[in-house]
């Protein structure tokens, strides 16, 4: 999804989320290319932290700001929340520190989140743009909350 093509009312909010998605995809790739277990463990920890912050911003601010816009959007948000819950279970498994299963848990998490991100960008974000939801204030709240959460240790 091209940020420069997003209308100005939605641009800041969607750009923040798109940047997070790019950063996560980069981490997934880094994990695949990692040479040893300690590298993998630290990339996994960073992924869990970033993903938790991202999901929290969506759940606390972004998704609620879209509630009631349309039935179609509400259905998408319900589905997204269920997907977040599944991702959190995988994050909890990774953070529990089971070294034997790290590779398997991380691989499934990256595939699962990859799918979720595609749906957000190709369906949810497109619907938000189409419905012309004004997200300028929402973007400021999201930026403030992100700054707050990113400073906290994982
Ligand atoms: Fe999400
Ligand atoms: Fe997202």
Q: Identify residues whose C-beta is under 5 A from ligand 2, the ion.
A: 120
Distance 116 CA to ligand 1 centre (A): 6
Residue among 3, 115, 113 at smallest CA distance from 51: 113
pLDDT at 127 over 90: yes
- pLDDT tens string 29-39: 999 999 999 99
The whole-number pLDDT of residue 126 equals: 97
Q: For residue 30, tell me if it sits in a domain.
A: yes
Q: For residue 3, tell me if it sits in a domain.
A: no
Q: For residue 56, tell me if it sits in a domain.
A: yes
Tokens of 19: 């940047």
| Host domain of residue 143 | 8-131+138-150
Q: For residue 1, tell me if it sits in a domain.
A: no
Q: Identify residues whose C-beta is under 5 A from ligand 1, the ion.
A: 58
Q: For residue 57, tell me if it sits in a domain.
A: yes
Q: For residue 2, tell me if it sits in a domain.
A: no
- pLDDT tens string 73-110: 999 999 999 999 999 999 999 999 899 999 999 999 99
Q: For residue 86, tell me if it sits in a domain.
A: yes
Query: What is the domain-level CATH number for residue 71?
Result: 1.20.120
Q: Name the domain count of the chain.
A: 1
Query: Which ranges of 58-135 does DSSP label H, i.e. alpha helix?
Result: 63-66, 71-95, 102-119, 125-130
Distance 64 CA to ligand 1 centre (A): 12
Residue 104 CB neighbour total at 10 angstroms: 13
Residue among 50, 57, 49 at smallest CA distance from 21: 50
Residues 6+ apart with CB under 8 A from 151: none
Q: For residue 76, tell me if it sits in a domain.
A: yes
The whole-number pLDDT of residue 107 equals: 97
**Mean pLDDT, residues 42-59 taken together:** 98
């Amino acid at each position: 999804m091209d940020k420069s093509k997003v209308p100005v009312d939605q641009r800041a909010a969607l750009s923040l989320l798109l940047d997070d998605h790019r950063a996560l995809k980069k981490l997934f790739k880094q994990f695949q290319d990692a040479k040893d277990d300690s590298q993998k463990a630290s990339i996994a920890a960073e992924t869990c932290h970033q993903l938790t912050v991202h999901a929290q911003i969506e759940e606390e601010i972004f998704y609620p700001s879209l509630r009631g816009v349309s039935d179609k959007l509400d259905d998408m948000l319900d589905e997204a929340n269920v997907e977040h819950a599944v991702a959190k279970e995988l994050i909890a498994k990774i953070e529990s520190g089971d070294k034997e299963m790290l590779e398997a848990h991380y691989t499934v998490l990256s595939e699962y989140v990859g799918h979720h991100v595609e749906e957000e960008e190709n369906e949810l974000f497109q619907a938000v743009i189409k419905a012309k939801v004004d997200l300028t204030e929402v973007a400021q709240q999201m930026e403030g909350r992100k700054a707050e959460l990113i400073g906290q240790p994982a």
